Amino acid sequence: MTEKMYYAIGEVAEMFGENTSLIRFWANRFHDVIKPKKNNKGNRMFTQDDIANFRIIHHLVREKGMTLDGAHKRLKENKTGEDRSLEVVEALERVKEELLTVKELL
């Protein structure tokens, strides 16, 4: 699968199961780490780096239950650590899915 250079706000919202207004709000709130480009029509276009930052924000706010201020502080102070933490969680979820598939086949 080829990754795109830019994603529209609707695509980003769909990736995270959120509405576009929340993605717009997060982009504005976390403007120091999410820096969308705007096309000729003025629509926000997000890069892979923006998507990675959205993934961390989504994890911290939706899955860990952090406040936006807490997530913002964590992201600024320890982005690398949060990247690794999220990678581990995602890897464990994939392993769990595979194990459940194997269990169903037995």
Q: What is the pLDDT of residues 59-95, one digit of tens each?
A: 889 988 999 999 998 888 765 555 566 666 676 778 8
Looking at beta carbons, which pairs linking 80-83 to residues 24 or more positions away fall under 8 Å? 82/56, 83/52, 83/56
CA angle (19, 21, 24) in 5-degree steps: 115
Domains of the chain by residue range: 7-105
Query: In this predicted structure, what is the pLDDT of residue 66?
Result: 92
Give the CATH fold of the 7-105 domain: Multidrug-efflux Transporter Regulator; Chain: A; Domain 2 (1.10.1660)
Query: In this predicted structure, what is the pLDDT of residue 34?
Result: 92
Query: In this predicted structure, what is the pLDDT of residue 9?
Result: 95
Tens digits of per-residue pLDDT, 30-60?
A: 998 899 999 999 999 999 989 988 998 998 8
Task: Let me know: does 10 contact 45? Beta carbons within 8 Å.
Answer: no
More confident residue, 85 or 17: 17
Is the whole-model pTM more than 0.75?
A: no
Residue 24 has pLDDT above 90, yes or no: yes
Confidence of residue 2 (pLDDT cuts 50, 70, 90): low
Distance CA(24)–CA(49), nearest Å, equals 16
- Distant-in-sequence, close-in-space partners of 34: CB < 8 Å, separation ≥ 6: 26, 27, 46, 50, 53, 54
